[in-house]
Amino acid sequence: MENAITAGLSKQIVLARALETTANNVANQTTSGFKADHIAFREYLAAIDARTSGDPVVSLVVDPDTYTDFSAGGLEQSYRDLDFAIDGDGFFAVETASGVRYTRDGRFSVNAYGELVNRSGAQVLDAGGSPVLIDPEAGPVLSTPDGKLQQNATPIAQLGVYKFDDLRQLRKSGDNLFAASDEPVAAVAPRVRQGFFESSNVNPVAAMTDMIEVMRAYEQAARLTETANDLERQAIETLGRTN
């Protein structure tokens, strides 16, 4: 009986994490550049001494692994001069208080110091790792198809687009940003679309369907655990009366 309770609780723990992950996807379905997360379950059969249990093995769900779907979202036209979308592989780089972070969200603005910043106020970096500076008095910012920025036909910066050999080493660090354990390389000829931004890659219908299925599975696991607890309690009470 304890095996059934243990298996049920392990499933509830994993499903709770899956529900949290799916809910976060749903909440960010309109966040530009957001990448959906998914849970991969790992199951194993734990051998149990048949002399002390009616079930020789018990199936446990353990070590749920979260992985990020890095597939591109759609490109949406905004007509804003400071909105940029990467058409292909790569990430924008920003300087935060915790160090350099990477993002696909290219909805930028200019702060009071003339720095190009993301929506959290982090400085956007150029291809050399320096902040991109914009003169608010020098006219609109124009971009070439490979991300070279200019004002009044004067080049001002090469918008940094950085690539990684292995995207699996990227970890979410909040504010729609990724931290990297390996150094990236600056893309030589990136494709940058000005006046566009990348939408979230969350499929709203699929995400809501997943959430409903996970909630139902969690409720079922909770009922099974409760039933196992009731049966164990009844067995103890029966044993107590016979003694």
Domain-wise residue ranges, the chain: 2-68+203-242, 75-198
Contact 13, 233 (CB under 8 A): no
pLDDT tens figures, 176-217: 999 999 999 999 999 999 999 999 999 999 988 988 887 887
pLDDT at 48: 43
* Residue 45 in this model has a pLDDT that exceeds 50: no
Which among 83, 87, 115, 89 is positioned nearest to 102, based on CA atoms? 89
State the pTM of this model: 0.80
pLDDT at 128: 96
Lowest mean pLDDT across 43-47, 87-91, 221-225: 43-47
pLDDT tens figures, 92-119: 999 999 999 999 999 999 999 999 999 9
Task: State the angle between helix axes of 204-242 and 2-27 in degrees (0 to 180), rounded to the nearest 10.
Answer: 160
At residue 239 the predicted structure's pLDDT band, cuts being 50, 70 and 90, is low
pLDDT tens figures, 46-97: 444 444 455 555 555 555 678 999 999 999 999 999 999 999 999 999 999 9
Which among 102, 105, 75, 74 is positioned nearest to 193, based on CA atoms? 75
